[in-house]
Structure 1
Amino acid sequence: MSITGAMNSALSGMTAVSRAASVVSSNTANALTEGYARREVSLAATQVGTTGTGVKVTGVNRVVNQTVVNDLRLAEADLGNSNIRTDFLSGVEKMVGESGEPGSLSALLAGFDSALISAASRPDSDARLTSLLNAAQGVAKQLNTISDNLMQVRTSADDQIANQVDTLNNSLKQIAQLNRTITAQQASGVDTGALLDQRQLLVDQVSAIVPVREVMRENGQIALFATGGAVLLEGSKPSEIGFDPAGLVTADMTLASGALSGLTLNGMAISTSDDKLIGGGSLGALFAVRDELAPQAQTQVDAFARDLISRFQDPSVDPTLAVGDPGLFTDKGVALDTTQEVGLAGRIEINALVDPAQGGAIWRLRDGLGATTPGAVGDSTLLTALGTALSDPRVPASGDFSGTKKSSSGMAADILSQFSSARQTAETQQAYSSSRQSTLKELFLADGVDTDQEMQKLMQIEQAYAANAKVISAMDQLLQTLLGM
């Protein structure tokens, strides 16, 4: 090899290792940066004819296993979906309360039953009648609270849907812009690694909301398709997702009635079911909470409220009532109307005729709601009949219950059992989703920055740099010797 050839080889080597050192520095500095993909320098030998003339940097590559990235996105979307469902079902179970837990529906109902027995044993005691009134009010207020909480959950889900749709639209627009910028910079020979990192983060954000498949297109662009089939982005053309938030969601508002908004894709209505076009991520789960899970829970507590009201407005239980008169429990002060059952748990309240705070008289609990004057203070007939009505096994007239007869406490236990079973099923799915996501996350991180490995590379780079420097020094000394001859 000539002196010039040796010098060129050494200089090209120093240039290459300098670039490699810069890449190692970037990798180390960004080891904890979200979305950063490890870089590797790609080198190639140069030659003139059959003579090697050194080495050149052909590029800096992002190390990304796209298959693992795609699978991880789907796993994280599935985990987010499972988390929302599990959190909702756990929350509903807590609203109803564990059997025997203070303040639970079962405990309040048991307290009401106990107060009826206590009052029947001493019908002359105003204190026991007052305790009975308080216990009945406690049951009604608990049902009100459960219904109000379900309304708030649905309202919150509706608000979150609106926020996620905004995030989705903004992210798709930013990805489309990055597609254009990446294409332009690649054509100019500019490194696009940082832009690719940014685009990957945005796609991750989109996929958490609506799970997507990323497809590479020409000139560094990508297309995004929801796993359900919807086209979210094709090159530089993002789709527009439409949604109109309700502001406040009440028990009677449904998607089918038009009171709640669904989704549109480029102006066309699309299904919001969690197994359809946009299903599988957090957006699908929020629609499931708003339109399926919470209404199902509302149906059950409404059915319980209906059963409770009907038990005590029966004239055969309280002979002082006429057919159609409201009983001890009412629908906002009026008798039960079975055509207005939706939201009944939020409206159930105690008849004002027995509540002194509302101008009623406590003795009507003993003598009958239709009584105009107090009766015999020792007569426990009505109180006993009320207790019997509470524990009387009946087939529920509505709700998703088995066809067997149930007492009020049996219905409450059945509601809790249903919510508990649904929560356990959701937790099983959540555990599976979490395990799958953790496994794929480890595979993804395996391609990330390993600072120990980067330090080893840096040592090799230093050795290579020193070797090239020695060649240059030796060539310099040789030239000096030749010039001095």
Structure 2
Amino acid sequence: MSFSSTLSIATSGLTAASIRARATAENIANANTDGYTRRVVTVEERRVGPSINGVRVANISNVTNEFLTTERLRLDADSSFASTRASAAEKLMTLVGEPGADNGLFSLYANFENALRDAAATPESDLLLRGVVDKGRALATNIQNMSRAADQQRATADRQIGLAVEEVNASLKRLEELNALPASKTTPEVIDERQRLVNSINEKIPVTMQIRDNGINLITDGGAFLLTERAQYLDFTPAGNVGRTQTLGSPLSGLSINGVDITPGGGAGQQTRSGELAGLFEVRDTILPDFQDQLDALATDLINRFADDTVDPTKTAGQSGLFTDGTTTPPTGVPLGIANSLQINAAVDPQKGGATYRLRDGIGATSPGATGNGDQLNRYISAFTSQRTTIGALATSGTRSASELAADMSSNISFQERDYSESSLFASTRAEAATEAEFAATGVDTDTELQQLLLIEQAYAANARVIQIAGQMIDELMGLI
């Protein structure tokens, strides 16, 4: 072998070792960088004609595992969906209050009943009569505030849908730009950026990634194309404020791609079923309206319990009693949104020009009666504690007292919160396991990379030694001339 061949081979080895060292150092430096995949340098023989004349770097590529990445994407979307639902359920549990909590719904019912009993035992006490009004007002206001808070949470979910759609569309635009790059510019850094964008989209709407020449296609879990050579953008119109009577399509916006309906829960064939967007649509269109339906049932039950003419013979026949919805007559059925207007009758509320003696003497009383007569208060207690047929979203096969009906709702919300929380924990655990499996296959193990650096150092030193010896031999030969 000639000196020139020897030097050429050794020099190519040095070059390859240098490139491998840089790639390995980059791996170590980015070991904790989110979305970074391990770089691998492929070295192959360099031929000149039939002869091997050293080595050359064929390419620098990312380590990928299509199966593990696909599985991780699916489980990430499921975790995002479950987390979104769990967060909404937790907020509802906070509104209702834990069973037994001082500020909880059931406690407000118990406080009102206790106030009635105290006043019935001492009907001449104006202080205790005021206590009944205060506790009744607190109960009605709490139900009203919970329903209005649910309206606000629906509006928040609607805004979050709009923001998520904007983020997805921005990521799609960038992916379209990356897809347009020629093969020579589709570097490992570009591939990592592309995967991070896909990860971000997938958290909001589940996608399957198809690798093609110099780019990718993205398909939603419902089978709609989000990205081919060009991006197909999501379409959604935020509502701003969301009222109790507003529903999907009337007038709340759904989700579409180029006019194709993919609204989660909308019944379309290509609807998306997981990810943050699906969770937010379920919160806006199902979880919160169901909660408000239960509040409407509670409000209607409270009004109707005291509206019976036998409960208060002094009031105008057929009109509402101790609780109203702001009108004079009790509701038929369970009116949508009645919880938003539940209030204690103004006739007994001093804050609205009423008088507390009407609790003792009846809504229709025009002047105070016998101060020691607690009959009317006892009729109120009987109405509050009597077993009545359940209605609306709280309908069951049995009957309930007012407090038992409130306990049913508290239990419903508590069970939902626990169920969604457990589902979220399970989904999160599976997603973390999938992430760890993918990282083990495609991420950076610093111990392995450090060992690789030692081998590269040895290869570099060996090639450098060859060049050194060749140089010495040339010097010796030149010295003989």
Q: Deviations over 1:311-342 (max 9, x none)?
A: 11211100112233221111025433336721
Question: TM-score scaled by structure 1?
Answer: 0.95
- How far the C-alpha of 1:94 sits from its partner, in A, is 2.2
Residues of 1 paired with 2:58 and 2:107: CA distance? 74
Q: Deviations over 1:380-424 (max 9, x none)?
A: 111000000000001123224312010011101111111122222
- How far the C-alpha of 1:102 sits from its partner, in A, is 0.3
Q: Deviations over 1:236-268 (max 9, x none)?
A: x11121111111112111115x12111221133
Residues of 2 paired with 1:334 and 1:151: CA distance? 26
Note if 1:423 corresponds to 2:417.
Answer: yes
- Residue 55 of structure 1 corresponds to 55
Question: TM-score scaled by structure 2?
Answer: 0.96
- Residue 247 of structure 1 corresponds to 240
Q: Deviations over 1:169-211 (max 9, x none)?
A: 1111111111002xx2x1xx34611111111111100000001
Residues of 2 paired with 1:191 and 1:457: CA distance? 26
SS in 2 for 1:42: strand
- Residue 454 of structure 2 corresponds to 459
Listed as ranges, the matches of 1:322-337 within 5 Å are: 322-337=316-331
Structure 1: runs of 5+ lacking an equivalent: none
Listed as ranges, the matches of 1:20-419 within 5 Å are: 20-181=20-181, 184=182, 186=183, 189-190=184-185, 192-217=187-212, 219-235=213-229, 237-256=230-249, 258-273=250-265, 277-338=271-332, 341-419=335-413
Residues of 2 paired with 1:28 and 1:191: CA distance? 22
SS in 2 for 1:35: coil
Q: Percent of pairs identical after alignment? A: 38
Residues of 2 paired with 1:456 and 1:216: CA distance? 32
Residues 49, 265 of structure 1: CA spacing in aligned structure 2 closer, same or farther, 3 A cutoff? closer
Q: Deviations over 1:136-169 (max 9, x none)?
A: 1111111012112211111110000000111111
Residues of 1 paired with 2:432 and 2:185: CA distance? 35
Aligned residues of 1:274 and 1:284 also touching (Cα < 8 A): no
Question: How many pairs were matched up?
Answer: 477
SS in 2 for 1:338: coil
Aligned residues of 1:333 and 1:352 also touching (Cα < 8 A): no
SS in 1 for 2:100: coil
Aligned residues of 1:154 and 1:294 also touching (Cα < 8 A): yes
Q: Which amino acid aligns with 1:211?
A: P
Residues of 2 paired with 1:401 and 1:416: CA distance? 14
Residues 130, 191 of structure 1: CA spacing in aligned structure 2 closer, same or farther, 3 A cutoff? closer
Residues 296-305 or 270-279, more deviating: 270-279
Residues of 1 paired with 2:433 and 2:306: CA distance? 57
Q: Deviations over 1:113-135 (max 9, x none)?
A: 11111111111110110111111
- How far the C-alpha of 1:299 sits from its partner, in A, is 0.4
Q: Which amino acid aligns with 1:401?
A: A
Structure 2: runs of 5+ lacking an equivalent: none
Q: Which amino acid aligns with 2:258?
A: N
Q: Which amino acid aligns with 1:33?
A: T
SS in 2 for 1:129: helix
SS in 2 for 1:41: strand
Residues of 1 paired with 2:394 and 2:251: CA distance? 24
